[in-house]
Structure 1
Amino acid sequence: MSFETCKDVWVFMECFMGQPKSAGPQLLGQGRKLADGLKQDLCAVVIGKDVDLAIKAAGEFGADKVYVVQGDEYEHYSADAYGHAFLELCKKYDPDTILIGATVNGRDLGSKIAVSLRTGLTADCTALSVDETTGNVIWERPAFGGNLYAQILCSETRPQMGTCRPGAFKQPEKNPDNHPAIIREDIRTPEDKIRTKVIDFIKACEENEIRLDEAEIIVSGGRGMKSAENFAILKELADVLQGTVGCSRAAVDAGWMPQTRQVGQTGSTVAPKIYIACGISGAVQHVAGMSESGTIIAINKDETAPIFEVADYCIVGDLFEVVPALVKELKARHQE
C-alpha cells in the first residue's frame, strides 16, 4: 500500500460469543499513543455476528472510528472469512498501522493479512513507540529467550503491523462520553470460500477458574513450591483474594502445573492489579511476563533473589510459613 495515501492506526477488537476479549481494549490504549504520535485517528475493527458490546467497548476505550463488518458467516472466527473482510477494509481505507492481539486467532489473522498485503509483521510485541522523524512505529519484542529486546522497524512497506501479547499493556480508563463514528461495511464471504468450520468448543479450564490474562490477582509459584501438592496452599490464598493461581516455567517443567498456568516469556503475559510470586527466583523470562503488574509482592527465602529487584513488597522468609499466615489473617479480616 502507498505511503502517500495510508493513514490511521487500526486495532482489531477480537470477540468470542459476542464478548470483546481483553486484548482489544488493551491495544486501544497503546493505539491512542501511536495515533497521537503519528497525528492520525485511532480506529477499531469489529468483525462478528452480534457485536454491539464490542462496538460499545471500542468507543469507551478511545476509538475515533469503528469499522464494523457483521454477518452469520462471522459468528465464529475463521481465517478465510475474517481475513477476507479485513483485507477488503484495508483495500478501501488504506491503514498506516495495524495492531492485533497475539491470541491464537490474532496470530493467525495477522499473518494472513501481512502475507496478502506483502508487508512485515512483528510478533509478540511488549512495547510500542513512534519514531517521529520517519513515522515508523518502533516494535519492541523479547529475543533470545527474553535475554535481549529487539527493536524492529517496518520502513519499506505499509501498513506496518504487529501482534501484541495480551496482558503486555494495561487497559486504559473507560470514557463513556466518547462517541466514535460507526462505519458499517456490507462485506460478505461466500460459504464455499470458508474452508474450515467450528464444530464445538471445549473449555480449557474449569467453570469457576479465572483465566490468567483476565485475573486481577494472581498468586504464582515456582521451583520453591517443591511439589504439585504444595500448590494447594497457593490455591487457598488465591481463593481468599478472589484471584487465580499461576506458575513459573520451572513448575511446568517439573510437571507440577499445566502449561496453561505459566506466566512468562513462553507462557502468558499478565498485568493484574496484584501479583504474588512465591518461591520464584525471578529469571528474566518470567519477569518479562509479569513486570507490568500493578503491585508485585515477592516471597522468597533467598534475600538476593532477582525477583526482589522488581517487587514492590519483599518478604524474606519461608513461603510455607508466610502464605498460611497470610491466609489466616485474611480470613480473620473477612469475618470481622
Structure 2
Amino acid sequence: MEDGDPSRQTLTLARKFGEPRSVRIDAILPFAPDALATALAQAADELDASAVFAAGTERGNEVMARLAARMDLPFAANCIAAAPGDPVEVTRLRWGGSLLEEARLHSPRPLITVAPHTVAADDGSVPPEVDLHHPHDRDLTVRVSDHVEPSSAGVSLAAAKVIVSGGRGVGSKEGFAIIEELAALLGAAVGCSRAVTSAGWRPHTDQVGQTGTKVAPEVYIACGISGATQHMAGLKGAKRIVAINSDPQAPLMLNADYTVTGDLKEIVPAISAEIRKRR
C-alpha cells in the first residue's frame, strides 16, 4: 500500500498467501481512510482475496482498522510473521515491541499489517495495481484538509541516516543547543524523547518512539535518554545505537551498541570539538 521499505516488507509476507495485487495508500487524494477502506473492501470481494495486508504505519493501521470494522473481521496489527492456514498463525509485536505474541487468526479473510523494519524486504516484481471505484461523498467526511510544514528545517527524522536525540537529561530547551550543534556537524536530524516534548522543549515532530516517529537510521546517538519502552519501540530499525548517559544502568545504555558514561554537557561538546579538529 505504501512506497518504500515498509511496503516491500509487507510483500514478503503477502506472497505466502498467493499472487498479490496492490492498492497505493495515495490512490485516493487527499488521504481519506474511510474511502480507502471502502475501496479495499470492494476490491477484496471482487478479487476474492485470500487475505489483505498493509504496512504497519500510522496510515496503514488506520485504514485496516476501518476495513476490519466494515467487513466485521478480526485484524492483526504489527505482525512480524504470518503463516497461511486455517487458522492463520501470526507473530506480532506487543507492548511497544517489548514482547512477541504468537496468535491464531480465525477469519475467512485475514487482515494483517506488518510492523516496519522487522521483515526482510521483498525484491520481486511490483504487483499490478487494482482499479478502484470512485469514492462516495459519505466516505470523504474524514480526510486530510491541510498540511502544516514542520517548524524546524533540515533532515527529517524518518529519512535521516544519522539522528542525534536528547532526553530529559539535556536539562532544558536551551540545553538542546549542543545537540543541534553535533547534529549539524554530522548532517543529522535532531530527535528527542516524549519527556522532552511533554516539557515543551521540542515540538512533537521531533519525538522518537511509539507515539512519535519510528526511525531506522544507520546511527542513533541518544543523549540523556533513559530508554523507556515506548522510546525503544521507535528505535527497532536503528542499525547502531550510541548512548551517552550518567547512569550506566539506564535501559538504553544496556541495549546500546556503544556507550559513554558521564555528563552529556561535557561529552557532546567534546565530540563536536573533535569532529571540527579532524576537518
Structure 1 runs not aligned, ≥5 long: 1-11, 14-19, 50-73
State the partner residue of 1:158.
Answer: 108
**In structure 1, distance between residues paired with 2:162 and 2:82:** 32
Give 1:229 shift.
0.7
Superposition deviation, residue 132 in structure 1: 6.5
How far did residue 170 of structure 1 move?
6.9
- Once residues 251 and 300 of structure 1 are traced to their aligned partners in structure 2, the CA distance between those partners, rounded to angstroms, is 16
Answer yes or no: is 1:218 the counterpart of 2:172: no
1:106 aligns with 2:55: no
Contact kept in structure 2, 1:273 and 1:294, CA below 8 Å: yes
Q: Distance in 1 between matches of 2:40 and 2:71?
A: 11
The alpha-carbon distance between structure 1 residues 252 and 131, as it changes in their structure 2 partners (threshold 3 A), is same
Q: Which residue of 1 aligns with 2:146?
A: 200
Distance 1:105 1:116, change over 3 A: same
Asked if 1:89 corresponds to 2:43, the answer is yes
Deviations 1:13-46 (A, max 9, x none): 2xxxxxx4x4xx32422431x246x363344322
**What's the RMSD between the two structures over aligned residues?**
3.0
The answer as to whether partners of 1:26 and 1:171 remain within 8 angstroms in 2 is no
Equivalent residue number for residue 88 of structure 2: 136
Q: Residue 147 and residue 87 in structure 1: after superposition, are their counterparts in 2 closer, same or farther (change >3 A)?
A: closer
The corresponding residue for 1:28 is 8
Q: Distance in 2 between matches of 1:276 and 1:170?
A: 24
The correspondence of residues 261-272 of structure 1 with structure 2, limited to 5 A, is 261-272=206-217
Q: 1:170-216 CA distances to partner (integer Å, 9 max, x unpaired)?
A: 7738x5xx54453452522355763356543222x137333322222
Cα distance change of structure 1 residues 308 and 47 upon mapping to structure 2, 3 Å threshold:
closer
Q: Which moved more, 1:188-197 or 1:248-257?
A: 188-197
Confirm or deny: 8 A CA contact 2:10 2:114 kept in the other structure. no
Output the CA distance in 1 between the equivalents of 2:139 and 2:223. 50
Q: Which residue of 2 aligns with 1:237?
A: 182
Shift of 1:249: 2.1
3-state SS in 1 of match to 2:165: strand
Whole-Å separation in 1 of the counterparts to 2:169 and 2:41: 49
| 1:172 equivalent among 86, 108, 121 | 121
Aligned counterpart, 2:275: 330
Report how far residue 230 of structure 1 moved: 0.6
Amino acid at match of 2:93: R
SS at match of 1:119: coil
SS at 1:44 equivalent: coil
SS of residue matched to 2:220: strand
Change (3 A) 1:158 1:244: farther
CA distance in 1, matches of 2:73, 2:22: 20
Give 1:66's aligned residue: none
Aligned partner letter, 2:224: G
The Cα of 1:147 is off from its aligned counterpart by 8.7
Aligned residues with identical type, % of pairs: 31
TM (norm. structure 1) is 0.71
Distance in 2, Cα, partners of 1:224 & 1:242: 23
Paired letter, 1:217? V
Q: Which protein is richer in strand relative to its size?
A: 1
Question: What is the number of equivalent residue pairs in this alignment?
Answer: 279
Q: 1:120 aligns to what?
A: 74
1:182 equivalent to 2:93? Answer: no
Name the CA shift for 1:196/1:163 in 2 (closer, same or farther; >3 Å). same
Alignment of 1:273-312 (within 5 A): 273-312=218-257
Structure 1 contact 168–289 (Cα < 8 Å) conserved: no
CA separation in 2, counterparts of 1:277 and 1:81?
A: 40
C-alpha separation between the residues in 2 aligned to 1:295 and 1:155? 34
**8 A Cα contact 1:137 1:160, kept in partner:** no
- After superposition, the Cα gap between the structure-2 partners of 1:201 and 1:147, relative to the gap in structure 1 and judged at 3 Å, is closer
